């Protein structure tokens, strides 16, 4: 029935497509099969009020098959036949409360009260004795019962057989059905994209083959519709394969970092679908893959923690991303200790940035302000979410600005979330103490490129053991991350093995 209803719309859809100027839609209109023969078969054979289960009966339409009509008619008239027999026996016996009843154990029977047993006709055969009544049957009632049961079974058998024949005929046309479904699906997608593009003020992107993603006043296609009472704050997005390969985005929670990086991925998908995108203008390149590592999750059934899941996903990205990919990373490294997380986040960023390894376009949202020092490396640039300080606290402006955030505003966010005042006050005291300790020893991470520790091989073949020892002795360990030290030692070991 649903298939028939769907097919019934095909002529109207083709008629509507006559107005289209799109070559694709015109081709769909010309090639779409109206499937009139399938519609007619279903229309003459299947009852529109039928149950979802053929065994419930009433599936085949009256007039389609003579045998089905006969068995159905008897089944439907059985109530009248029983009613006529009941009236006849009541009048002949004079038992005014004589009734024909039915249950699944005894089938059909006459029920006579104790007070009327003396009036029971001789042809009544006792079936069951109760406290206040007796149950009887007659040969005629038994015959009617048999016909009713037989007709129900026969009707079910005939309807099931006919339904199978009808579906078999339709299955022979499955290729036509699939082709029509594909064409209508394409038309539906194109019309849907056109509808939302006009309704929501989307713009057509220009296409380039230079690896550039440049979007002016971009908006999130979902969030801007959800928050109708608050206007969505648009932002520019610029990425390329040159000096803007990796954007480090800093700012507090709830400020809009995740929204910004996710909308970039969504707009890339929409663009490559052939849809206009929510922005004022856009110049975009094709990306071969989009990788995302966002949110926090664990897999308890597999015995994997949030951090393990995170690292597995990052490993997959580093293994499969190419220079033509778009990578979206949100808070990589937060599932472990600060130093470990910072080291991993930095190493991942450098790996993605290096043209000799991947060199893809990357949006990297992070709370690690130490990572912003990577701006010294070619291809890295900092972005931050603008914040307004007011007497009542901070206000998130949701606007992306160049440069890094001056601080994390974590305590301000906690205050907005409703943490008790004593907790906020104590947090501020602890923060001041930690900042004093940090000022006593610099933790600035040198550029890996500048130190020639990561990204360049260290050739020790011409070094004597004395020179190698001297180099190790002079390493600026206090300025190096754990991952940098590990990589340095690993490379020395490999060179020493070659001697």
What's the distance, CA 387 to chain centroid? Answer: 33
- Classify residue 358: in a domain, yes or no: yes
Q: Indicate the number of domains in the chain.
A: 3
- The whole-chain average pLDDT of the chain stands at 84
Determine, yes or no, domain membership for 4: no
List the domain range (segments joined by +) for residue 133.
66-165
- Phi/psi region, residue 365 (left: phi>0; alpha: psi -120 to 50; beta: rest), is beta
Q: C-alpha angle 289/292/298, rounded to 5°?
A: 135
CA 334 to mean position of chain CA atoms: 25
Residue in the structure block whose two tokens are 């922005």: 279
Q: State the CATH number of the domain containing residue 136.
A: 1.10.1420.10
Do 383 and 242 lie in one domain? The reply is yes
Residue 366 and residue 273 in one domain: yes
Using CB atoms within 10 A of its CB, is residue 254 exposed (0-12), middle (13-18) or buried (19+)? middle
Domain assignment of residue 120, yes or no = yes
- 219 and 160 share one domain: no
* Pair 92, 240 in one domain: no
Query: Of 350, 385, 408, which residue sits at a domain end?
Result: 408
469 found inside a domain: yes
Residue at a domain's end among 120, 143, 165: 165
Q: Are residues 390 and 461 in the same domain?
A: no
Global pTM reads 0.67
Query: With contact defined as beta carbons under 8 Å apart, do 221 and 266 qualify?
Result: yes
Q: What is the pLDDT of residues 374-433, one digit of tens each?
A: 999 999 999 998 888 777 777 878 899 999 887 777 787 788 778 888 888 888 888 888
Q: How confident is the model at residue 331 (pLDDT cuts 50, 70, 90)?
A: confident
- Domain membership of residue 438 (yes or no) is no
Are 138 and 264 part of one and the same domain?
no
CA atoms within 13 A on the CB side of 226: 5
Element (H or E) spanning 251, and its range? none
Asked whether residue 442 is assigned to any structural domain, the reply reads no
C-alpha–C-alpha distance, residues 203 and 223, integer Å: 17
CATH of the domain at 211: 3.40.50.300
As a whole number of angstroms, the distance between CA 189 and CA 185 comes to 6
If asked whether residues 110 and 223 sit together in one domain, one would say no
Same domain membership, residue 472 and residue 402? no
Q: Do 458 and 365 share a structural domain?
A: no
Residues 373 and 283 in one domain: yes
Tens digits of residue pLDDT in 118-144: 898 999 999 989 888 999 999 999 988
Same domain, 128 and 230: no
335 shares its domain with 484? no
* Residue that finishes a domain, picked among 376, 408, 440: 408
Distance, CA of 388 to CA of 394 (rounded, Å): 6
356 within some domain: yes
218-273: pLDDT as tens digits: 999 999 998 777 889 999 999 999 999 999 999 877 788 899 999 999 999 999 99
In a domain, 443, yes or no: no
């Amino acid at each position: 029935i649903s298939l028939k209803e769907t097919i019934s719309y095909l002529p109207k859809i083709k008629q509507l497509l006559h107005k289209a100027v799109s070559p694709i839609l015109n081709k769909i209109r010309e090639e779409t099969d109206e499937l009139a023969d399938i519609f007619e078969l279903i229309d003459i054979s299947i009852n529109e009020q039928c149950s979802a289960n053929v065994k419930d009966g009433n599936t085949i339409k009256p007039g389609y098959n003579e045998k089905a009509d006969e068995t159905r008619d008897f089944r439907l008239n059985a109530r009248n036949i029983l009613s006529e027999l009941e009236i006849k026996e009541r009048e002949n016996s004079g038992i005014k409360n004589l009734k024909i009843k039915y249950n699944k154990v005894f089938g059909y029977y006459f029920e006579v009260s104790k007070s009327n047993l003396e009036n029971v006709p001789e042809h009544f055969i006792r079936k069951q004795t109760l406290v206040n009544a007796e149950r009887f049957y007659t040969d005629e009632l038994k015959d009617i019962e048999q016909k009713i049961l037989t007709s129900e079974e026969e009707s079910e058998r005939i309807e099931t057989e006919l339904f199978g024949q009808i579906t078999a005929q339709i299955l022979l046309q499955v290729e036509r059905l699939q082709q029509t479904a594909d064409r209508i699906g394409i038309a539906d997608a194109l019309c849907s994209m056109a509808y939302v593009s006009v309704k929501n003020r989307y713009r057509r992107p220009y296409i380039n083959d230079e690896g550039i993603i440049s979007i002016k006043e971009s908006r999130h296609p979902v969030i801007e519709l959800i928050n109708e009472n608050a206007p969505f704050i648009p932002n520019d997005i610029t990425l390329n394969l040159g000096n803007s390969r990796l954007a480090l985005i800093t700012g507090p929670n709830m400020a809009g970092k995740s929204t910004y990086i996710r909308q970039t991925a969504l707009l890339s998908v929409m663009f490559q679908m052939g849809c206009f995108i929510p922005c004022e203008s856009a110049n975009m390149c094709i990306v071969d893959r989009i990788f995302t590592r966002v949110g926090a999750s664990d897999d308890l059934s597999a015995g994997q923690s949030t951090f393990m899941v995170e690292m597995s996903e990052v490993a997959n990205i580093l293994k499969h991303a190419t220079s033509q990919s778009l990578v979206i990373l949100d808070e990589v490294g937060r599932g472990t200790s600060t130093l470990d997380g910072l080291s991993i986040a930095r190493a991942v960023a450098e790996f993605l940035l290096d043209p000799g390894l991947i060199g893809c376009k990357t949006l990297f949202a992070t709370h690690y302000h130490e990572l912003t020092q990577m701006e010294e490396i070619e291809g890295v640039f900092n972005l931050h979410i603008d914040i307004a300080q007011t007497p009542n606290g901070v206000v998130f402006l949701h606007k992306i600005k160049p440069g890094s955030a001056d601080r994390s505003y974590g305590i301000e966010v906690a205050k907005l979330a409703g943490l008790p005042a004593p907790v906020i006050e104590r947090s501020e005291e602890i923060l001041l103490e930690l900042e004093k300790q940090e000022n006593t020893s610099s933790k600035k991470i040198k550029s890996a490129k500048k130190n020639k520790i990561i990204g360049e091989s260290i050739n020790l073949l011409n070094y004597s053991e004395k020179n190698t020892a001297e180099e190790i002795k002079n390493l600026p360990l206090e300025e190096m991350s754990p991952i940098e030290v590990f990589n340095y030692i690993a490379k020395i070991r490999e060179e020493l093995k070659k001697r």
